[in-house]
Structure formats: structure tokens, C-alpha cells
Amino acid sequence: MQTLKFADCNREFQDAKIVILGVPFDATSSFRAGSRHAPNAVREASWNFESYIQELDVDLAALPVCDLGNLEEFGKAESMLKALEFEVCKIIEKNKFPILLGGEHTLTIGVVKALKKQYKEFSVMILDAHLDFRNEYLGVKNSHACVTRRISEEIGCENVYSFGVRSLSKEEKVSSEKLKLKYFTVSELREKKISNIIKNLNLKEKIYLSLDFDVIDPSFAPGVSNPEPLGLNLNEILNCIKLLSSKLVGFDIVEVCPSYDNSGITSILAAKTIQYLVASVWRVSKIE
């Protein structure tokens, strides 16, 4: 039975406005498996911090946040996705803000399916070193390497944006051009500034944010399943969160891999990111 909770999550589900759910699933991981241990490792790391977020003047201990523990569905991706979609529907139909703690990136497909049932239109913003745009990977369609492709099929390429991309196959380059997927490399984000880029996107009023933690440079966040050099830093990630916060309707953080996180720093950065996300979203609160 799950007892460890994310720090300062003091409410029960019915009283909460923000709900954390762990998804310890890593069955399609191709390089370093082990992200199934991340939900609890990140929870443990969260107890390192003060509940007061100085920059945003928010005390997390006072906020209505609930940690539901982990999804208890293992096995194939398809059954995990079904179970997750069901759980996320229960959260969003009560107008609560879901935070999914992966696990591998595959889980985002289930969340987007749930959002689609609730909202007529929304955009999905993905922060990821990888384009994840393969049609299938190692014979599997619901794979972490195909997430952006599956999501684009659900809501249309024009509603999906990827930031921080620096790794894709030739096949992904060709198909993303053909299907007109918009993505930005790390150098583009830095040259044109993230705030200018976001301003010029055709974003819907509701945005779901998916953070594949490998978008961060592995010298900061080494404990991920597929480390890819030349990434963003945590300040840039938090800036993105702040810029989007007034429109966010949900968030996931995926691909943290504690078995390769020797100093535990990656889980610490992930826990800080969640704290910051909760405080930012609450401050501009659209959560009603």
C-alpha cells in the first residue's frame, strides 16, 4: 500500500483543487528502464524543501492539493492507458487540476484522451529532447518514442508544440514536415527567446503541459531514461511554466529514472519543478 506522499499535500480528494497521481509504468523503455521508481523517489525528494515558495510568495502547505498515490495498473501500455484515462477523467470532470508523475512518457497519451472527453479544444505543449514522432518503435505504437505522434493524431498536429528538441530520426524529420508539426530546438528557443516564441504561437485558451525531463541538460539532470546532451536548464523550464501558467489545465513530468540518478539530483529538480508548477498555477488561479 502506498503511504509516501508528495510534501505538503494535506487534503483529501474531495477538498482538493490540484491532484497528484503517480504512474509507475516503464514497460516500453528502450534504453534505461527504471522510471517506474520515479514517483516515489520524487515524492521523497520533495520533503527536502520549504513549503513557502519565496519567488512566487505562495505557501504550498495552505493549498488544496491531494496526492492520490500511484496508479495500480501494470502490464501492457494499452491497459495502463485505459486505467489512467479513467482516473484522469475522474479528476478533470470535478474541475480539478491533474499532475501526473511518471513513469515513462507513454502515459501522456492516456491523459490527452481524457482531456479530449472534457474539453472541446486545447493545445498540448511538450518539452522534450526527443521529437517522439515515430509511427511505431520496436513494433509498438503506444511507446515512449511515439508519444507526440499519437497525441497529434488525437488533437491534430496544429495543436501540438514541442520545445527543446535536439534528437530525431530522418524518418521523424520527414513525417513531421509532411504533417506540419511545429517544434523548436534549444538554439531557436535561446536565439528568439522563449517568451517571444510562446507569444507568437496559436495556442488555445487551455493548454496541457508535458515535461519529459530529458529536455534538461544531462549535466544538470543525469537520471533520465534517454540522456541527450545540450539541453535546457531548470530556470528555462520554470520560465516556460510561468509563461503558460494562466492557461494550464494539467501537467505531467516523465522519464525521471532514479536508478541512474547517483546523487539524487534529478529527483530533487523534478520535485522542485512540481512545487513551482503548483505555486504558479495557484497564483494565477484559473482553478475553479
Could you give the residue ranges of the DSSP H alpha helices within 16-125? 38-46, 77-92, 107-118
Which of 8, 132, 236, 261: binder of Mn ion (CB under 5 A)? 132
Distance (Å, whole) CA 146 – CA 153: 11
Please report whether residue 166 would count as binding Mn ion according to CB under 5 A. no
- Which of 26, 128, 217, 261 is the binder for Mn ion (CB under 5 A)? 128
Total residues binding Mn ion (CB under 5 A): 7
Of 16 and 81, the one with the shorter C-beta distance to Mn ion is 81
Helix (H, G, I), strand (E, B) or coil at 255: coil
| Percent helix / strand / coil, the chain, rounded to 5 | 40, 20, 40
The β-bridge relationship of strands 123-127 and 160-165 is parallel
Using CB under 5 A, pick the residue from 67, 85, 214, 217 that binds Mn ion: 214
Question: Which of 183, 282 has the CB closer to Mn ion?
Answer: 183
Alpha-carbon distance of 104 to 255, in angstroms, equals 5
Q: Pick between residue 98 and residue 103 the one whose CB is nearest to Mn ion.
A: 103
Residue whose C-alpha cell is 506522499: 5
Q: In angstroms, give the least distance from the CB of 168 to Mn ion.
A: 10
- CB of 69 or CB of 164, closer to Mn ion: 164
Query: Can you say whether the dihedral through the CA atoms of 219, 220, 223, 224 is positive or negative?
Result: negative
Strand partners, 140: 137
Contact 239, 187 (CB under 8 A): no
Stretch that binds Mn ion, among 10-18, 49-57, 76-84, 211-219 (CB under 5 A): 211-219
Q: Residue from 212, 217, 252, 261 that binds Mn ion (CB under 5 A)?
A: 212
Q: Contact between 26 and Mn ion (CB under 5 A)?
A: no
> Which stretches of the chain bind Mn ion, using CB under 5 A?
105, 128-130, 132, 212, 214
